[in-house]
Structure 1
């Protein structure tokens, strides 16, 4: 059996792991590279094998860095099944359409305003190509052994992180392989704790926060303080929100604060159409999260949900103090860029980051103290106050990842640490070896192993 790491190794984006066994080829996730330009350019490169020769994709969850390359896979000849849970199918459809729309809009804008180095800027893929992925999805129930072939079975088990997210246990060639996907937190606001694996011959574990512990802070108190301070200064709070799950977590916490009378009665705005649609996925899949139907309906009433850009423009031009949740969470695209164009250079603006900021993204640069950022070919001075609330990350920290291994009844032959930048992955490797004595390896992009 051969396993090749063609994405999500040495970086937290572009997750793709290829398995070849007895003439059958499977891809675990098919994600988009984000962040550094050198990584983004990889999205335009062909896979090391023809998509038409891949028999199926097993999708851990619907985030862009795990599903965002599917339109290209299909357009380049893939005809197999994409196995995933029901919520993951719904979320992936939203994410892919949103991604395609943003790419088309940015290509058109680059062409009209002539800030691209390309004579005729093109999107990576179109809305039509994103829509073409839908027929290939094959929904499978969680916690159930599903036959992929006569010789391969897969079990999807809750990973927390976002709605529908799962780890995948594969049984093939008399071996058990476990792919973690992205592991959520044991004490997440909305998601249930991830299910721990009990058996694994080889384990492929994400390492996003492999060298960090989430601070033990009162995140509601932090939100309350930042919002009240900004509103007293007649400013605007902008929360770049990952449209799936983090946006709903922030909505829930803000609803609690407002219900408790701890934040003022001002406009609270959700300006991410995909986030609004993701809310319906929560309502349709109540067994996947902690909220009640009443919670969902009550918190949604608090927010103005924006559906078109004309409404975005009206909100931006209104100087009234407000709190805005807008995608994308790493400020790589989406409606949040329009808010930044207007507000990032205003001193009484507060930007609150609530999730992981990948290397090379605008979000990472702002957290590292950038004095200016580039948006649509123009530079803007950064005068807004920039904060991060780490306690709201959807990723488990180092301790969560170590805990996830605690139920194993056997000693894996190797734990491969993927989906992490090099330093966090290596620090997690040392921790795992010290705590459990497991052999660990940190593969690089393009590495291939035989087991």
Structure 2
């Protein structure tokens, strides 16, 4: 029996370096190829030896990249150009456009760090600018809701994931089995992006991120008001606010929010954004308007929300400027670049504020200060942290409620958690198994999880069988049946058909067997007259069963002292002071009701 095997090379019980290997019915797919932002040595990349020992090109059928964040695509040029993967790589149009820019920015920052090191990075341990260009040439583009056949057996489809511009989920189908991989996603729409959307695809396995596995966020409006209030307070006391962000994503969301507030409150303090990034961001949002929120799409012709009146490009010389200012600087985890440089200069002053709007992986300066570090080491120097640190989650990841909502919407047979912390995953795993009654897994990096699959057999249901069994269920006030009884026939064309037992028996010359249930009720010792007893039993059944089912037809036979209901269910009065109830399998509910009524008659002493 074919199984699905999942092995995380990154993001297994960890946030960062997403790289998941999936084997489904003989096809091998890599889901994302990210780097870990908390390391600057060989640990930044997944351990590709796991697959290179098996011949990378002979093993992998394709690579799917969910979005442009470096923890999901940062190892791609290394894997394709240094390790040597020549197969197809799939991503959306926006991801293909933005991915090389972020990769090149990261490469430059890494090279700047190398200049300060005694030991430089070895050529086979990192990627070059040319590697990035050659890698992107191998990328094939997939559109939203587009289905692509990678080969005769492997099929992929992309769904909108929210999170950042161009982010998508992938549905991978091989034969009768399918895997839905979410990447990072957001189930709530915001100012510039819509909510994730996927149809009721019922995958064999759902692989979902679990960054906020135990978090249920407060209302978006309350969070925004708190954010604006804190910034206004610091500006009023002439302090400086640093907001580390990634170039595209939460940066645009918060810029739109502050732009509106500055206009409404007539605030004069300057707002700055990392030089060049505003222009780049605007360019891509204009280019990919169909990927934005409904509000931006509907108002774009009249007014482009990404053309800011109050937000200006930031220059390094502004760091020492007196007076209040708000600065958006990248990257978002304070692990390198301009945001880290500004933090280094402002961290000593308790009048200033650092607002972290998103998740920070372990090992970054951002993670350290969020965990109340009062001293950090930057470029070999100790930096005292007196700046006020606030964590205000504007991260575009699904929270616990959103993850449960996605599971409910897609109805998977199994769930596997990645991109989360182990303890939080364990909590969410228990909740999923309890609420949905399905298996949930959370493998660690390098650990293979095997999910058993069961082939779906297509069986035709005859109209006669469907009609008969629906009538039986609805007769007793029940809903239409989800499970149908009968016999399966193999037709001449190889198809399977479920027939009702009688039709099957007649067609195949078989004698039909009938199952009947029997129950007995002991009679009250005080009764004397059998005739009187028959009358009382008959009256009681007729009165009480009328409420249960008005269509029950009664008939009496004085010859064998029996009462027949609908010609099938029989209540018989024996000579040894017993009421014997006999009914066929199909009338189980009615039979049980009769036994209950007769027990009540005897307990009340009517007989």
Say yes or no: TM over 0.5: yes
What displacement does 1:89 show?
1.0
**Counterpart in 1 of 2:380?**
377
Residues of 2 paired with 1:270 and 1:10: CA distance? 34
Which moved further from structure 2: 376-385 or 287-296? Answer: 287-296
Task: Give the direction of change, closer, same or farther, for the CA distance of 1:330–1:276 in structure 2 (3 Å limit).
Answer: farther
Task: Within 5 Å, give how 1:306-385 maps onto structure 2.
Answer: 306=314, 311-312=315-316, 314-385=317-388
Distance in structure 2 (CA, Å) of the matches to 1:325 and 1:442: 35
User: Superposition pairs for residues 3-402 of structure 1, below 5 Å?
Assistant: 3-20=6-23, 24-35=27-38, 41-43=43-45, 45-50=47-52, 51-53=56-58, 54-75=60-81, 76-108=83-115, 110-111=116-117, 118-121=118-121, 124-198=126-200, 199-216=202-219, 218-261=222-265, 264-271=267-274, 273-274=276-277, 276-290=279-293, 291=296, 292-293=299-300, 295-296=303-304, 299-306=307-314, 311-312=315-316, 314-390=317-393, 392-402=394-404
Could you report, residue by residue, the CA deviation over 1:356-395 in whole angstroms, capped at 9, with x for unpaired residues? 12222211211111101121111110011111112x1111
Contact 1:4 1:448 in 2 (8 A): yes
CA distance in 1, matches of 2:351, 2:303: 32
* 8 Å Cα contact 1:30/1:59 also seen in 2: yes
Structure 1 residues 152-161 or 441-450, which shifts more?
A: 441-450
Structure 2 CA distance for partners of 1:271 and 1:330, relative to 1, 3 Å? same
Which structure: larger Rg? 2
Q: Which has the higher contact order (CA 8 A, sep 6+)?
A: 1
CA distance 1:101–1:89, shift in 2 (3 Å): same
1:369 and 1:21 map into 2 onto residues whose CA distance is 44
Gaps of 5+ in 2: 452-607
Distance in 1 (CA, whole Å) between partners of 2:211 and 2:306 is 34
TM-score norm. by structure 2 comes to 0.68
After superposing the two structures, state which structure 1 stretch, 416-425 or 276-285, moved more. Answer: 276-285
Aligned match of 1:420: 420
Residue 94 of structure 1 contacts residue 274 of structure 1 at CA under 8 Å; is this kept in 2? Answer: no
SS in 1 for 2:350: coil
Q: Return the alpha-carbon distance in structure 2 between the equivalents of residues 272 and 56 of structure 1.
A: 37
**What SS does the aligned partner of 2:45 have?**
helix
| Mapped contact 1:103–1:125 kept (Cα < 8 A) | no
Structural RMSD (CA)? 2.1
Q: 1:57 to 1:273 in 2, by over 3 A?
A: farther
Shift of 1:15: 0.8
Secondary structure of 1:193's counterpart equals coil
Return the alpha-carbon distance in structure 2 between the equivalents of residues 15 and 232 of structure 1: 42
Listed as ranges, the gaps of 5+ residues in structure 1 are 112-117
SS in 2 for 1:155: strand
| Number of aligned residues | 434
Match of 1:300, SS state, is coil
For each residue in 1:144-175, what CA deviation from the matched residue of structure 2 results, as whole angstroms up to 9, or x when unmatched? 21111111111100111111111110110320
